[in-house]
Amino acid sequence: MTETLPLDPDAAWKAFEARDRHSDGRFVGAVKTTGIYCKPSCPARHPKRENIVFYRTPEEARAAGFRACLRCVPDAVGATGSRCARGRADRGGRGSGAA
């Protein structure tokens, strides 16, 4: 069994503020006032810092009574066939910018 390091709320908040895609899949942030959890790169408006709590996994957030964001779909991070994975495959792995 592997041991996980404790989640640093300040570092997690900084990742949310920066919408850091590299942090997706490492933790989720759950908003107390809406009952929704998101991945760090979610494009939705940021909540107030005092209204967010961080969990290592979507399962932990669901167990605490939160539901997944319909905008960023945090449960699909790393999943085969997710919207992001399909989008990259549709573009042949290239970015969406024009040449």
84 given a catalytic annotation? no
Are the CB atoms for 98 and 91 separated by under 8 Å? no
**86-97 in b/e burial notation, b at 16+ Cβ within 10 A?**
eeeeeeeeeeee
Dihedrals φ, ψ of 64, to 5°? Answer: -85, 0
On the 0-12 / 13-18 / 19+ scale of CB atoms within 10 A, 20 is middle
Active-site pick, 38, 42, 69, 72: 38
pLDDT of residue 89: 41
pLDDT tens for the chain, 99 residues long, are 444 567 899 999 999 999 999 999 999 999 999 999 999 999 999 999 999 999 999 999 999 999 999 999 999 876 544 444 444 444 444 444 444
Is the pTM higher than 0.75? The answer reads no
pLDDT of residue 52: 97
